[in-house]
Amino acid sequence: MENKKKNVFSGIQPTGIPTLGNYLGAMRGWPLLQKEYNCIYSVVDLHSLTVRQEPAKLRRQTLSLVALLLAIGIDPEQSPLFIQSHVHTHAELAWLLNCYTQFGELSRMTQFKDKSVKHPDNINAGLFCYPVLMAADILLYQTDLVPVGADQKQHLELARDIASRFNGLYGDVFRQPEPYIPPSGARVMSLQDPTKKMSKSDTNPNGYVLLLDDTDTILRKFRRAVTDSGSEIISTPDKPGVSNLMAIYSVVTGKTTEEIEKDFDGKGYGAFKTAVGEAVAETLRPVREKYNDLFKNKDYLQKIYTEGAEKALQISQRTYLKACKKLGLVLPQ
């Protein structure tokens, strides 16, 4: 019987430990996608090279992220999990697609402009062409759906434009990917400035919780979380700090806003912040414990990412060679 499941591709850069925001907003839902879709997960290490990296640190972070993806519930038997640089078709298709991407399109990419301001001494060609490599990542696997945050939507639109242009010239080669919007997710804001999204690049480490923070660290950060005037635990636009904590608590406990307001009626911010911290710590504890076991087992991690790369190459090679043939390149025999 033909497999009618849609294909999903998710890539994540090894640029440090993901935050609670990354987890609640997207990553926590990735294992659930495996039941409904054909999923492929990649640690996209080539993308991280647009910014200067410390080699030993990059190697450690790459392996760490493989272990973390397994710890959150990615099943490598069901969904290939691999390191991007181990599958040569990604870089090869990116070159082909570069030749079908306009300079003007890339120069309009918001992330290129932002990173050029952040790293004015290293505005390299890789940074400029980054979205084309991302398009190759997606299009290689005939991807139907891509879980993307708001900062990547422009890149997905470009991938769609490139696919459409190529298909218009050479026939049906690439599938048109669509953004995957999870049925429920949380937009987690900074614990120190609830008007900004939680980010590990925050200059104040108390503004974010990392997925591998220990219980004491998590509790300390939540107890220091910014709240608002008054002492009522209610979710309103004029209480962004409390509303953010309520949103986090709601996602990790499954309780509604109304239930939270009722449970903490008259209890004040101190008790509520502690309760949120404890609930988050308990949610992340099994992930951290599993990660610690996995990260020690380098042989197992190597087995997973090696087998994942073999599967990914087998799948992606079909698309890559089809594109080569359409372009008139002589295929290897």
Active site residue 221: no
Distance CA 252, CA 33 (A): 19
Distance CA 117, CA 47 (A): 18
CA angle (273 as vertex; 271, 276 as ends), nearest 5: 110
Catalytic residue (one of 4, 57, 115, 239):
115
Active site residue 197: yes
Active site residue 325: no
SS3 content of the chain, % helix, strand, coil (to 5): 60, 10, 35
Q: Give the per-residue SS3 of 199-260.
A: CCCCCCHHHCCECCCCHHHHHHHHHCCCCCCCCCCCCCCCCHHHHHHHHHHHHHHCCCHHHH
Residue 235: exposed, middle, or buried by beta-carbon count in 10 A (0-12, 13-18, 19+)? middle
- As beta bridge partners, residue 64 has none
- As beta bridge partners, residue 210 has 19
Catalytic residue (one of 200, 290, 311, 326):
200
Catalytic residue (one of 197, 221, 239, 273):
197
Beta strands 145-147 and 38-43 are unpaired
Q: CA 174 from chain center: how many Å?
A: 23
Beta strands 145-147 and 178-180 are parallel
Strand arrangement of the beta sheet that strand 145-147 belongs to? 81-83, 38-43, 7-12, 145-147, 178-180
Question: What is the chain's length?
Answer: 333
**Residue of 191, 196, 186, 205 lying closest to 248 (CA atoms):** 186
**Residue of 75, 81, 83 lying closest to 32 (CA atoms):** 75
Catalytic residues: 115, 197, 200
